[in-house]
Structure 1
Amino acid sequence: MGTFAPIVVYWLYAGFFQVMLASGFLDKHRLHTREEGEKKNLVPLSSVIKGVLLLQILQIATAHFYFSLTSSGVAADQMTIQPSVPIQILQIILAMFVMDAWQYFGHRYMHRNKFLYRHVHSQHHKLVVPQAIGAMYNHPLEALFLDMGGGVVSLIISGMTPKAEVIFLCLASIKGVDDHCGVWFPRSNVLHLLVANRSAYHDVHHQSRGGKYNFSQPFFSFWDRLMGTHMPYVVLKRPEGGYEARMVMKD
């Protein structure tokens, strides 16, 4: 479950957005017009899908290796012992903060280091207009270090049980897709009420020159505020329909 559930959740959730956008049902919630995506993005959807599938093969191998190591020598009856629900919730929250710290500093460094940006992280930014399927469209080295490495460190530090690990990894998949979906929902959306890091927040990162702002992902935004890389923004309605995330430049 820990290996395959996050991948299944990724394709179900990302596929929902892709189908809804392609059919026009979510046009009134778009952060970019369909024409903008076709004009600005440097890779076709078919290449994005192939790239994500390749990384998920690497993800499966990494997860299998990690779970094999952590489950070896543990008796079956011990595997079934679960801490209380409040403890599991606290473990998941701790893992979120660990994941955010790992992602923020790693992500920011990949922008600051010209070599890493040019040869590694720039692959993700070929999607100038983010799209749901492209949440995991990264260079394999970035995926291994930033995404999978961050996941493993979060699981180890939080000390989660296998059941909590599955829940956390699925939440991370959902939130990654949500950040890249290119869709803006009203504040009535429950997931958006819980976190400040939303689709428009990450869209600002993709649209800012050189991606100098809003590095935080996937869950919260406090690292940007603490480190001075937060870019305020407003979301405005387009006259022709949809929305636009517009940066509010700092003094």
Structure 2
Amino acid sequence: MNATLQLMNNSFDSLKKKDPFSDEILALWVPVASYWLFSTFFHLLTKANIPYFEQYRIHSIGDMQKRNKVSMARVLSMVALQQLIQVVLGILVLHPLDPVSYAIREENTINSITAFFFNHYHSIHFAHILAKYIYLVLLPCLQFLSAMFIMDAHQYFFHRLFHMNKFLYKHVHSHHHRLYVPYAFGALYNHPIEGFFMDSLGAAIAIEVTRMTPHMSMLFFTFSTIKTVDDHCGYAFPWDPLQFLFGNNVQYHDIHHQSYGVKRNFSQPFFTIWDKLLGTEMSIKEAEKRGGFKKNTT
């Protein structure tokens, strides 16, 4: 216990000395800021009640007010608590980088890759360009994609466990399902235990396993936060890139919040692979047959 407290004290002391726009600090506050900004956008869109956008709403405002079993004030307070835990975990997990040491390591790695390709192609210029492309473009892309798959696997099995175990569902996961009609601010509304084990810990494991830099960690966690908010926004926009590029989108997740799909579509936040492999997927067509996604009026 004392060792943990000492670690936290050392981490916070180090944090105080950091530039708020350094990669390590950005990785802590940018995902949080993105949640509030993106959710506020959808909240204002709902309040504006613009006919063009309302045609894409999955549920009516009246349905939202009638069916949801938790106040927005409660939702926002629980989200703030989860994000506080998330920031503390981030302080403990993120590895501060010494710019000089990092630059030397980067140069040495690029030089090693360059030497490898020079032995094959006998062109130092081509070998160096290829090495920089691999290190600065290909490797980060592979890290990002790998982190997406790791987070998906982590969240699928924890999410399914929270549903299949009656005790965990009743006392933990049922909090999130008080939102029968999801909305953006409710994307991170969870019991703190679920928020820690499924969301914060899942991201931390993905970042740690792929050995992302703090800068890459910030990009990954911000993207996953925005994706999660979009999955709960309540609008099925055909031109939303997050919705037409990913099968796991706002309609896919909305099925899971309905009584007919509560034990289906556990996958989140990116792909539907685990639902397909393990037979827990409910398609939008199947949901429509069960009365889902009817045109709503406000």
1:170–1:240 CA distance, 2 compared to 1 (3 A)? closer
* TM-score, normalisation: structure 1: 0.89
**Do the aligned partners of 2:57 and 2:296 also contact (CA within 8 Å) in 1?**
no
Instruction: State the match for 2:257 in structure 1.
Output: 206
Match of 1:118 in 2: 170
For the residue of structure 2 that corresponds to 1:84, the secondary structure is helix
Equivalent residue for 2:7? Answer: none
Please give the alpha-carbon distance, in whole angstroms, between the structure 2 residues aligned to 1:95 and 1:39: 38
1:96 aligns with 2:148: yes
- Alignment partner for residue 218 of structure 2, among 153, 160, 166? 166
Cα distance 1:59–1:238, how it changes in 2: closer, same or farther (>3 A)?
same
Q: Which amino acid aligns with 1:75?
A: D
Secondary structure class of the residue paired with 1:85: helix
Question: Offset at 1:193?
Answer: 2.6
Gaps in structure 2 of 5+ consecutive residues: 1-25, 107-134
Aligned twin of 2:202: 150
Greater share of helix: 2
Tell me if structure 1 keeps the 8 A contact 2:59–2:296: no
The question of 1:182 aligning with 2:213 is answered no
- Cα deviation 1:135-174 (Å, max 9, x = unaligned): 1000000111111110111001111122111110110101
Largest Rg, 1 or 2? 2
Q: 1:237 to 1:61 in 2, by over 3 A?
A: closer
Q: Distance in 1 between matches of 2:158 and 2:295?
A: 38
Tell me, yes or no, if structure 1 residue 77 matches structure 2 residue 100.
yes
Q: Which of these residues, 38, 45, 64, is aligned with residue 13 of structure 1?
A: 38
In 2, distance between residues paired with 1:23 and 1:46? 20
Q: Which residue of 2 aligns with 1:59?
A: 86
* Distance in structure 2 (CA, Å) of the matches to 1:179 and 1:239: 19
Q: Distance in 2 between matches of 1:225 and 1:237?
A: 21
Q: Give 2:182's aligned residue.
A: 130
Query: What is the letter of the counterpart of residue 30 of structure 1?
Result: R
Post-superposition shift, 1:199?
0.1
Amino acid at match of 2:222: C
Residue in 1 that maps onto 2:60: 33
Rate the CA distance shift 1:224–1:238 in 2: closer, same or farther, 3 A: closer
CA-to-aligned-CA distance 1:33-83 (integer Å, 9 cap, x gap)? 00110010001111111111111111111111112xx23xx5332345663
RMSD: 1.8
- Quick one: which of 10, 17, 22 aligns to 2:47? 22
Aligned-pair identity in percent equals 40
CA distance in 2, matches of 1:23, 1:191: 23
Change in CA separation of 1:165 and 1:228 when aligned onto 2, cut-off 3 Å: same
Cα distance change, pair 225–76 in 1 and its aligned pair in 2 (3 A): same
- The 1-side partners of 2:282 and 2:47 are apart by 30
Kept in 1: contact 2:93–2:204 (CA 8 A): yes
CA distance in 1, matches of 2:54, 2:196: 34
Structure 1: segments with no counterpart, 5+ residues: 243-251
Number of the residue aligned with 1:247: none
Q: TM-score, normalised by structure 2?
A: 0.75
SS of alignment partner, residue 27 of structure 2: coil
Q: For 1:179 and 1:55, how far apart are their aligned partners in 2? A: 18
> What CA distance in whole angstroms lies between the structure 1 residues aligned with 2:221 and 2:91?
14
